């Protein structure tokens, strides 16, 4: 394991190496949040079937199992031995403070394996977010002849993200006060659009100790409580869908009017209507907005920036803006974010931009170099980032630019 490298006045630290080893060296309860994007192990059939009779088939590089066993886009690191292992997540749990959140991306085909491991390690699964994008293309084996029009895959249009939490120490309020962790930064992650204005409201609270009376079809609080005046925050309550703002995604959402009536927060709701299990109370009162447009505006949109890659050839670079939103959602002010599968360091840059500290781990040397370049450019303007991205892109090997720029015989 090499020595850690420090960037941006020590606000971002990179541990080159295997995160399983690195985590063993991190102190208990030293991390405020984990925001990460582990390998999806989309096609690591070698690993998955290693101890089954099918493994023979994976050894032959010419058959389909062998070919796909090379990992996503041929990446050898795209395996599940770490992110599908509860023992790994037990160490993640140990280094997190009580109530600390863990946000981890996954692939639609392998999400279940990762999330079971996270849950088995002792995390509480709090939610599943969807990152919806328009840039995916189907990798389908299209059939010919009589079976033309039949294929093997759908167009990938979203990635699941698990939101998990370490157990609290006491109540949420006690954990937040003691450790800064346990709650989500709702106001910091509201969805702002031109129409999402705030406003004053008045609401009647239940009388302390009041019970509910049923008259006819609805439940009512028994007796009047005090009047409560509040201010509705501008921006919509953040939802568990995020998207890339592409025309393709925005046009796939229906045209939809915004909220038309007043929601008081006291509406009765049937526990059997849409969910099975707990029915948490509503978030509060909301006023009509009288707006219209694509329903995509209800969800946070984080467009990829052309310079997000900073010249890297990594196949799965995430938009920095998306990682910023996720870091902000789960990290207390001034907190430390851990990313055990850092890739090109988008989580590190996002954490830095949000005023957090970041601890990154990355095993591949090429991506460690990408992280170093990203950190060097973290304070640079768009022109310098673009220039350095181009330099990095063309640095590796001379490109074959075809006959137009080749030698004329």
The residues that touch ligand SAM, with contacts defined as CB under 6 A, are 18-20, 37, 39, 77, 82, 314, 316-318, 341, 343-344, 346, 361-364, 367
Nearer to ligand SAM, 139 or 313 (CB): 313
Quote the DSSP letter at residue 283: -
DSSP-based helix, strand, coil % in the chain, nearest 5: 25, 20, 55
**Nearer to ligand SAM (CB atom), residue 133 or residue 298:** 133
> What b/e string do you get for 215-229 counting C-beta neighbours within 10 Å, with b at 16 or more?
eeeeeeeeeeeeeee
Please check whether residue 383 is in contact with residue 307, taking contact to mean a CB–CB distance below 8 angstroms. no
Q: How far is the CB of 237 from ligand SAM (least distance, A)?
A: 27
Q: CB-wise, 37 or 388, nearer to ligand SAM? A: 37
Please report where in the chains the tokens 């996720």 appear, as a residue: 326
Closer Cβ to ligand SAM, 163 or 286, answer by number? 163
Distances (CA, A) of 40 to 109, 178, 312: 8, 35, 19
Shortest gap between Cβ of 317 and ligand SAM (angstroms)?
A: 4
Minimum CB–partner distance for residue 244 and ligand SAM (Å): 14
Nearer to ligand SAM, 75 or 294 (CB): 75
Q: How far is CA 195 from CA 236, 241, 282, 285, in A?
A: 10, 19, 22, 17
Output 106 or 336, the one with its CB closest to ligand SAM.
106
Residue with the shortest CB distance to ligand SAM: 343
Tell me the C-alpha distance between 299 and 132, whole Å: 10
Euclidean distance between CA atoms 338 and 187, whole angstroms: 23
For residue 331, give the nearest of 186, 181, 126 by alpha carbon: 181
* Residue 324 DSSP SS3: helix
Nearer to ligand SAM, 363 or 385 (CB): 363
Smallest distance from the beta carbon of 74 to ligand SAM, in angstroms?
13
Distances (CA, A) of 228 to 144, 287, 341, 385: 67, 15, 47, 50
Per-position DSSP letters for 198-254, written without gaps between them:
-EEEEEEPPPTT--EEEETTEEEESS---EEEEEEPSSBPP-SEEE---HHHHHHSP
Looking at the Cβ atoms of 266 and 316, the one nearer to ligand SAM is 316
At its nearest, how many Å lie between ligand SAM and the CB of residue 133?
Answer: 14
Min dist. Cβ of residue 68 to ligand SAM (A): 17
CB of 15 to ligand SAM, least distance (A): 9
Closest CA to 42 of 62, 71, 70, 65: 71
Q: Is 3 helix (H, G, I), strand (E, B) or coil?
A: coil
- The smaller minimum CB distance to ligand SAM, of residues 32 and 362, is found at 362
Rounded Cα–Cα distance for residues 130 and 382 (Å): 29
Instruction: For the CB of residue 290, give the shortest distance to ligand SAM in the complex, in Å.
Output: 39
Shortest Å, Cβ 236 to ligand SAM: 27
């Amino acid at each position: 394991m090499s020595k850690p490298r420090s960037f941006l006045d020590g606000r971002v630290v990179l541990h080159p190496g295997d995160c399983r080893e690195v985590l063993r060296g991190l102190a208990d309860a030293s991390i405020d949040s984990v925001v990460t994007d582990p390998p999806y192990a989309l096609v690591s059939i070698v690993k998955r079937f290693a101890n089954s009779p099918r493994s023979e088939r994976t050894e032959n590089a010419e058959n389909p199992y062998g070919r796909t066993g090379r990992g996503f886009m041929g990446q050898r690191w795209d395996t599940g031995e770490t992110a599908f292992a509860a023992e790994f997540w037990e160490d993640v749990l140990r280094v997190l403070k009580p109530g600390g959140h863990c946000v981890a991306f996954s692939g639609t085909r392998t999400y279940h394996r990762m999330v079971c491991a996270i849950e088995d390690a002792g995390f509480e699964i709090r939610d599943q977010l969807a990152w919806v994008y328009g840039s995916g293309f189907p990798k389908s084996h299209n059939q010919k002849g009589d079976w033309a029009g039949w294929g093997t895959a759908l167009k990938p249009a979203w990635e699941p993200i698990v939101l998990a939490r370490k157990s609290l120490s006491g109540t949420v309020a006690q954990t937040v006060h003691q450790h800064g962790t346990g709650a989500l930064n709702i106001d910091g992650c509201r969805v702002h659009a031109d129409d999402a204005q705030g406003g004053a409201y008045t609401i009647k609270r239940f009388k302390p100790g009041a019970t509910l009376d049923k008259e006819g079809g609805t439940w009512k609080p028994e007796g009047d409580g005090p009047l409560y005046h509040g201010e509705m925050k501008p921006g919509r309550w953040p939802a568990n869908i995020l998207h890339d703002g592409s025309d393709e995604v925005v046009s796939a959402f229906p045209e939809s009017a915004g909220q038309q009536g007043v929601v008081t927060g006291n509406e009765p709701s049937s526990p059997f209507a849409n969910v099975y299990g707990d029915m948490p109370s509503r978030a509060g009162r909301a006023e009509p907005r009288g707006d219209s447009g694509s329903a995509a505006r209800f969800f946070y949109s984080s467009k990829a920036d052309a310079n997000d890659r900073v010249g890297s050839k990594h196949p799965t670079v995430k938009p920095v803006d998306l990682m910023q939103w996720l870091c902000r959602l789960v990290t207390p002010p001034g907190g430390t974010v851990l990313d055990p599968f850092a890739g090109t360091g988008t989580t590190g840059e996002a954490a830095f931009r949000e005023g957090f500290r970041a601890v990154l781990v990355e095993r591949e040397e090429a991506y460690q170099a990408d992280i170093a370049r990203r950190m060097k450019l973290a304070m640079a303007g768009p022109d310098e980032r673009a220039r350095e991205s181009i330099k990095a892109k063309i640095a590796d090997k001379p490109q074959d630019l075809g006959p137009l720029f080749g030698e004329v015989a």
